[in-house]
Chains A and B, each alone.
Chain A
Amino acid sequence: MPVIIMLFLFTVAYLVQAIGLPQGDLKNIGPGFYPVLLSVLMLMALAYQFFKERKTPERPQATVNKFHLVLLALLSGLIMMLESLGYFASALVFLLTFSMLLGWQLVEYHKDEAGKKVMIGLPLVAALTITGLDYALFKLVFDFNLP
């Protein structure tokens, strides 16, 4: 249901903007006609899905958990750091913390996996090797400009 509401809000905002554009006629279709058509079809489909799910609620295969929220924070951190700290520092921090997050997730489900290897060893290996590998790939092989 939250997904339908999210899509509904997006579609309404989309429709409002589309209605403000010239519509033209069938002979000379304006820039607003096609987006209006799409948003109306979308609203109809969403309404159908909304009533269907109200009648028989569906359980999603996966729900948002704490690991997702941490990943969102890590991605935000990477985006904020990339240009100010540069490639190496931001890569090392992101890769180390993300690998730690995966280690935390593993331990959460399999308590017997807890240990330094999962929480420190592998994250360090990930941070160092991937930083080097991607630098070699993007900078040395394909000559891209990295921050």
Chain B
Amino acid sequence: MSFEYFKIFFESWLIVYLAMGYFIGFFFGAVPGLTATLAISLLLPLTFGMEVLAALVTCVGIFVGGIYGGGVTGILINIPGAPAAAITVLEGYQLTQQGKADRALSHSSFSSMIGGMIGALFTIFLIQYVSEFSLYFKTPDKFSLILMAIVVSMLINSKDMMKGIIATLLGLMLAAIGIDTFDAVPRMSFGIENIREGVQLLTIVVGTFAIAEIFNQLASIPLRAKDILEKFNANQNKFDFKPRREELKEIGFWSYVRSSVIGFLTGILPGAGAAMAALLAYAVSKGFSKRKNLFGKGSIEGIAAAETANNAMCPGAIIPMLTFGIPGDAVTALILGVFTLHGLVPGPMLMIEQADTVGPMLIAFLITPVLIVISLFLFGRYYIKIPLVNRQLLYPFIAFTAMIGLYAATFSLVQLVHAAIIGFVIFLLSARNYPTVPFLLGFILGPIFENSLRTSMALSGGDLTIFLRSPFSLGLLILTAIMIYFLGIRLPKMLQEQENESNN
């Protein structure tokens, strides 16, 4: 990776876009109810007016900032900004209640920085090899990889597997609306002229993440600033954010490395996501720890493991998206959307043809973690003010910006009607625990899933065993079956047993 890519950041406005993205992501991650996914969905229409590199770098900032921001609110007021922060909240809020919020914030930031940078270095080092390896992937292998991404994302993001299946199928079904790419026949347009060419990605994104969240906010009891401050129960005026030598010794060098590797590998696995990275690293760290008794009661080791892993996951998750064109979670799916909107096709050739775009984007993953620590020292004492933002200003901003952004990008009022309907339907579905991430992944992966199925069948002359004859495809199908067993059958049983034990 050339040093030139570093220089670009400081010789142009890129560093400003990156910092802006980071602070936007951090803010959206930190405000309960908002997510980095929502931030990128608001940004998506604006990317039409941006250079592709500026748009991608902003997205990287939002991605990393969002993952980190989710933990901050959790530590301070016990409300995780994002599912990835659940472990950080478990340990961090205990420390806040002990009057040690600064220690929790310090280690969540430093661990995020270390995890993020190690993950970025792994990615920069390995992406070329993965990209070359992806050239050996034939169409049936791609089909099995997409199937695995869809299944894993469904299993991880669903509390109820059947609801996950329904949400995924709905995404796949909506994606199939439009002109058939093989036979140029219009499909399932319900006689509506405006969807003859398909449902637009922007419309789905704005409806699913912006409008549905607005409906969701109107369904819950509004939190006031004083309710939030009551949760921040720590009369702490002095903040010392420097990590102490004895704390770093307690965590240990190998814990950072271990959690980074776990996070990075979880990121590469399509569909797994940050929450799983944090959970795995936390469980492994607990296994290795000499202070197991502190886990669950405010363990700095626990925070370090979770935050290192979920930040190492971010650059890892970009690898399958860039090399195979297969996103693993909602944010990378939207970053893929930015590529598509600018006419770039992820895949092995991208690394060669668009090295000047991909290179600085990967460097952004290396720089953003540093911003985490800088922002902690500059603004850490004011972090508690973020969730106090007035919702009468915030939600009108989100709703209107989403709608006007969609209009500006499509010049179509019909798209606004579609976004409003989709938003309302998604609200109804998520109120009943139907997950939105598998729905989005189903929608985004749907077209290439169908294409790879039909091409494989045409190549094999209708022989379904083509998926078992290729070693890559067979390996991926076996891995998918293992995932179904562990994540869909074993894990729910284990969690149920744990719940029964704690109830007894």
Contact = CB atoms under 8 A, between A and B. Distances in A.
**Prevailing SS type, chain B contact patch:** helix
A118 B392 CA distance: 8
B151 interface: no
B183 interface: yes
B489 interface: no
Given A60-B432, A91-B400, A142-B46, A31 B458 contact: no
Contacts of A105: 218, 222
A122 B390 contact: yes
Contacts of A42: 166, 169-170, 173
Contacts of B434: 3
A49 B163 contact: yes
Contacts of A122: 390, 392-393
Contact of B169 (A41, A52, A62, A87): A41
A82 B407 CA distance: 9
A85 to B, nearest CB: 13
Interface string A81-124: 01100010001001100110111011001100100001000110
Contacts of B165: 41, 45
Contact of B408 (A63, A101, A144): A144
Contact of A99 (B173, B393, B429, B431): B393
Interface in A114-145: 118, 122-123, 125-127, 129-130, 133-134, 137-138, 141-145
Given A14-B188, A29-B457, 18 more contacts: A17-B187, A21-B185, A34-B453, A35-B188, A42-B166, A49-B163, A61-B432, A68-B424, A78-B400, A95-B396, A98-B399, A102-B391, A109-B221, A109-B222, A110-B224, A130-B397, A138-B405, A144-B409
Interface of B: 46, 48-50, 162-163, 165-166, 169-170, 172-173, 176, 180, 182-183, 185, 187-188, 190, 211, 214-222, 224, 390-393, 395-397, 399-401, 403-405, 407-409, 411, 413, 416-417, 420, 424-425, 427-429, 431-434, 450, 453-454, 457-458, 461-464
Interface of A: 2-3, 6-7, 11, 13-14, 17-18, 21-22, 25-32, 34-35, 38-39, 41-42, 45-46, 48-49, 52, 58, 60-65, 67-68, 71-72, 75-76, 78-79, 82-83, 87, 91, 94-95, 98-99, 101-103, 105-106, 109-110, 113, 118, 122-123, 125-127, 129-130, 133-134, 137-138, 141-147
- Nearest 8 A/B pairs, CB to CB: A142-B49, A26-B462, A62-B219, A27-B462, A31-B180, A144-B408, A62-B431, A67-B218
